[in-house]
Copies of this chain bind each other. A is one copy, B any other.
Amino acid sequence: MKKAVILLSGGMDSATILAIAMDQGYDCYALSFSYGQRNKIELIAANKIAKASAVKEHQTIEIDLGAFGGSALTADIPIPKNRTEIGGEIPITYVPARNTVFLSYALAYLDVIGADAIFIGVNALDYSGYPDCRPEYIEAFEKMANLATRRGVEGKHPIRIETPLLYMSKAGIITAGAALKVDYGITISCYDPDKKGRACGACDACILRKNGFEEAGFPDPTKYQ
């Protein structure tokens, strides 16, 4: 069986890539991170998603990205609400080098289990201005990954960083996920949920998600505050 490491945040995008990887016949090894973020509720969602799918293994790694500060998602900086122009400049919710740290751990995991691919739910269309969600970044990481590891040096096929959502709209992601029976009711996207896990409805992530359900013509299963 071919194996893949799936970066599973608990959001709708990562739930969708897990479903896509399963559908492509991969044995899936899910990887989540507890990184001092506000939304620990994401991890509860990630556990639910991993259980609902038949993943081979689900690891959660505790990391301290907040040690350096510099982001509204890890430090005590207000989350921007009701922004009308999403995209363009890099927003305060950017976590320095987050995807690079995540992908590096995924690469360690891949190297140990001898996997072929890492699936990550980055998106270049609906994205919020993060440099580490762009296709040129992913290509550069993939090239580096093949030079960095035992698996890259000794493997028969190159390591691939799979980004099935890269050019999909949020509406397209929802439509694709629904066809694979993803339960979006157990996912969470909000940067600033309340203690019961209900979404704020006003941060960039909530706005993109709400618009996605509307455009896809699917009922939005999100619980709002």
* Residue positions of A touching B, CB distance < 8 A: 59, 61-65, 67-70, 90, 94, 96-101, 103-105, 107-109, 111-113, 131-132, 134, 136-137, 140-141, 143-145, 147-150, 152-154
Counted per complex, copies of this chain come to 2
Across the two chains, which residue of chain B brings its CB closest to A63? B63
A136 touches which of B147, B149, B154 (Cβ 8 Å): B147
* A50 vs B103: C-alpha distance when bound (angstroms): 29
A111–B140 contact, CB under 8 A? no
With contacts A67-B59, A70-B112, A105-B101 taken as known, whether A147 is within 8 angstroms of B153 at the C-beta atoms is: no
- Most chain B C-beta atoms within 10 Å of own C-beta, residue among A97, A101, A113, A149: A97
User: Which chain B residues border A150 with CB–CB below 8 Å?
Assistant: 90, 94, 96, 131
